Each structure stands twice: as C-alpha cells, then as structure tokens.
Structure 1
Amino acid sequence: MTELNQASSTLKPARELADSPRRFPGESAEYRRARNDLLAEEIELRRHIERVAAQRRALPLGGAVPEDYRFEGESGPVTLSQMFGTHDTLVTYNWMFGPQRERPCPMCTSLLSAYDGEMPDILQRVAFAVIARSPIEKLAAFKKERGWRHLRLYSSAGNTFNRDYAGEDPDGDDVPAFNVFTRTNGTVRHFWAAEMGPWTADPGQDPRGAPDVMPIWTVLDMTPGGRGSDWYPKLQYDNAPR
C-alpha cells in the first residue's frame, strides 16, 4: 500500500465531518440538511484534489528539453534554462497574444492579472514565465497599460517553443498552455503540461482544466448564478465599479 493510500485509509468518512456547527440567522432545517450534504461533497472534493496533486508529483521523469530555447525578455535575450534563476522548477504560461492580435485574449489577461498580484508569493517557491509570440515591446507596452508589476514576460517569436510545448500552428491561432519544467544537474526536463481542452470537455461546459486555474471562476462557482452560460471577462467594461 502506498503512502497516499495509507493516508486515505485513516481518514474519517466525510459524512462524519460534515455535521457543521455553524448556524446562520434565519436558516431552516431544510437548508441545514442540504448544506451539510453539500459540505460532505466539498470534503470529498478536497480529498480528491489532494490525491490528484500527489499523483501529479509522483510522475516519472519527463522528456529532456530538446534545446535551450532563446527568448527576448524585457531586459534582453534569455534562454529557457536562465529563466529558472535560483529555482529548480519553472512554470510557463503561453499567453494568447500573438502577432496577429491587436489586443490580447481577455481570458488570458484576466488570469494573468490575478497572477500578477500573487507573483511575489509564487516566486518564493518557483520561477514563472509568461510567453507569447508577439515582439517583446508589444508585450511590455500592454503590461504597462494594465498596471502589471511582477509578471516576467518573454517573446518566443524567434523559436519553436510555442509549437513544441503549446501545440501551436505558427500560421494559426494562439493556444494557451501551462507547462512545468524541472532542472537537475544542469538537465532541463518537462514535468507536466495542462492537457485538458475541447476534446475533454463535458456536454454543456466550456473547456477547462481541473482544478480550474482561473480565480474568477472559483469565486463565481460559489454564487447562485455560477459562471453563467454566455459571460466572459473583457479587457474593459463600460460599467466598471468605482
């Protein structure tokens, strides 16, 4: 029995943990029963997320990166191996802002805006690079416009990184992609990539990964209206709150 299975076998049933001591003003007995039923499912979901994360961490060695890709950064040329800095793990996100676009993808921008605020904390644990095919000057100009302070941007216009690790057709549309790389004894290897997309989507749902990487959807999933069926982030709103 693996360590993960041993830990799972000692857990109390979610139903035993789901008798919440919380009570809110005016709630009915019917509401409390339904809420505790939901709480049991939330506990099971948390446990499943932990099992999946442990299985991900236990992946065998991925393939060695075929070349030390050269990018253009905001401070000049940089290679993939240099992006690690002092870390042994590098997370990359392929931003949908290729040269064919005047403005970047609103969904990517929403995600990266959230990550910009988290970046001082993320960079304590791993390196993080945002990669797009547009010239670095175009990427940096939008960063300034958006008020991003901490994201590290790189242009892959002169290499095949997007094709190799995001499955992009150089003459086609942009493809968003998360990838994780490791560096051990000077060798850079691919560790994991997000591989859920339109082909893995369930009926009636937008393509998404699990857990969902966009904080906005996590918040909306806790509300009565949920994500909605026809709403998506925009780069700007006419009725922006003040």
Structure 2
Amino acid sequence: MTSVEASAQALRPVVELAQSTRRFPGENALYRSARNALLAEEIELRRHIERVAAQRRALPPGGEVPENYRFEGEHGATTLRQMFGEHDTLVTYNWMFGPKRARPCPMCTSMLTALDGEMADILQRVAFAVIARSPVERLGAFRKERGWRHLRLYSSGGNSFNRDYADENPEGDDNATFNVFVRSGDTVRHFWGDEMGPLTADPGQDPRGAPDAMPLWTVLDMTPGGRGIDWYPKLEYALK
C-alpha cells in the first residue's frame, strides 16, 4: 500500500464533511441541499488535486538535461545550472513573447503579473525563471511597462531550450509551458513538464493545465458567469 492510499483510507467520508452548518441570510432548503451537494464535490476535487500532486512528487528521475543551456539575462549571460542559485529546484515558464510577436500574449502576461506579486514567496522555496525567445532588452522594456518587480527574465533566442522543453518549432509560434528541473551535485534532470494543450482539451474548453495556474480563471470559476466563452484578458484597458 502506498502512502497516498494509506492516507486516503484515513479520510472521513465526504458525505459527513459536506453537511455544512453554515447558513447565509435568506437561503432556503433547496439552496442548502444543492450547496451541500456542491460542497461534497469541492471536497472531492481538493482530495483529487492532492492525489495528483502526490503522484507528481513520486515520479521517477526524469531525463538528464542534455546541455547547460546559455541564456541572456537582464544582468548578463547565465546558464540553466546557474539559474538554480541556492535552490535544488528550478521552475521555468515559457512566455509567449517571441521575436515575431508585436506584443506578448495577453493571457501569459496576466498570469505573470499575478506571479510577480507572489514571487517573493515562491523564491523562498524554489528558483523561478521566465523564458522567451525575444532579445532580453525587449523583455526588460516590457517589464518596465508592466511594472513587474520580481520576475527574472531570460532570452532563449540563442539556444534550443524552447524546442527541447516547450515543443516549439523555431520558425513557428510560441508555446506557453511550465517545466520543473532538479539539481543534484553537477547533474540537472528534468522533473516534470506541462503536457496539456489543444490535443488534450475537452470540447468547448480552452486548452489549459490542471490545476489551472491562472488566479484570474480560479476567481471567475467561482462566479455565476464563469470564465465565459468570448472574453480574454487584454494588455491594456480603457479607463472608465
């Protein structure tokens, strides 16, 4: 029996946990019954997220990184190994802002803006690098425009990192991708990479990973209108 299975056996039944004692002003019995049924599903979802996270943590060693990729950072050249700093884990995000784009992807940018606010906390646990194929000067100029303070930006225009770990065609479009690498001594291995995209999307849904890393969508999922089917974030909004 695995530790995950053992933990699952010790959990209280969802039907017991979902009998909420909370009552909101004006709610009726029909609402409370439906809300408790939803609460049961929310508890199951939380447990499933934890099971998936535990399964991810239990992955066997991934492939050794084939080369010590060289990137251009805002403070000079650096390598993938140097990106780790004091940590043994490095998270990278491939930002859809290649040289063929006039402006960066609005959805990537929305998420990165949220992550910039969390970055001081994230960097306590792991290293984090944002990678794009545009020249680093272009990345830094947009950082200033957007007001980002903590994100560490790197250009991969001179290496094959995006092809190898973001499944990009050098002559094609950008891909938005998370990857996680681990370091042990001088050895760097790939731990996990985002593999959900258009080919894994369900009908009527935009391609996205799970859990969804965008706080924007997590908040909208709690509302009656949800994410909608005809709205996406923009880089700028007209003042009202």
Fold agreement, TM-score > 0.5: yes
Give the structure 2 partner of residue 212 of structure 1: 212
* Structure 1 residue 52: Cα displacement: 0.3
Give the structure 1 partner of residue 48 of structure 2: 48
> SS at 1:49's partner residue?
helix
Show structure 2 runs of 5+ residues with no match.
Answer: none
Give the structure 1 partner of residue 109 of structure 2: 109
Q: One-letter code of the match for 1:174?
A: D
2:205 and 2:15 mapped to 1: Cα distance? 29
Q: One-letter code of the match for 1:165?
A: Y
Q: 1:143-189: per-residue Cα shift (whole Å, max 9, x none)?
A: 00000000000000100000000011001111111000000021000
2:54 and 2:67 mapped to 1: Cα distance? 29
* Structure 1 residue 101: Cα displacement: 0.9
2:15 and 2:130 mapped to 1: Cα distance? 42
Give the structure 2 partner of residue 145 of structure 1: 145
2:24 and 2:175 mapped to 1: Cα distance? 45
* Structure 1 residue 239: Cα displacement: 4.2
> SS at 2:172's partner residue?
coil
1:161 and 1:3 mapped to 2: Cα distance? 35
Q: One-letter code of the match for 2:234?
A: K
Give the structure 2 partner of residue 183 of structure 1: 183
2:40 and 2:56 mapped to 1: Cα distance? 25
* Structure 1 residue 233: Cα displacement: 0.4
* Structure 1 residue 32: Cα displacement: 0.3
TM-score, reference length from structure 1? 0.98
2:116 and 2:201 mapped to 1: Cα distance? 28
Q: 1:50-95: per-residue Cα shift (whole Å, max 9, x none)?
A: 0000000000000000000000000000000000000000000000
> SS at 1:77's partner residue?
strand
1:205 and 1:167 mapped to 2: Cα distance? 22
Give the structure 1 partner of residue 77 of structure 2: 77
Give the structure 1 partner of residue 223 of structure 2: 223
1:237 and 1:76 mapped to 2: Cα distance? 34
Give the structure 1 partner of residue 12 of structure 2: 12
2:78 and 2:167 mapped to 1: Cα distance? 22
Give the structure 1 partner of residue 27 of structure 2: 27
Give the structure 2 partner of residue 236 of structure 1: 236
Give the structure 2 partner of residue 173 of structure 1: 173
Show structure 1 runs of 5+ residues with no match.
Answer: none
Q: One-letter code of the match for 2:187?
A: T
TM-score, reference length from structure 2? 0.99
Give RMSD over aligned pairs: 0.6
2:94 and 2:174 mapped to 1: Cα distance? 9
Matched residue count: 240
Give the structure 1 partner of residue 161 of structure 2: 161
1:47 and 1:37 mapped to 2: Cα distance? 16
1:196 has 2:196 as partner: yes
Give the structure 2 partner of residue 98 of structure 1: 98
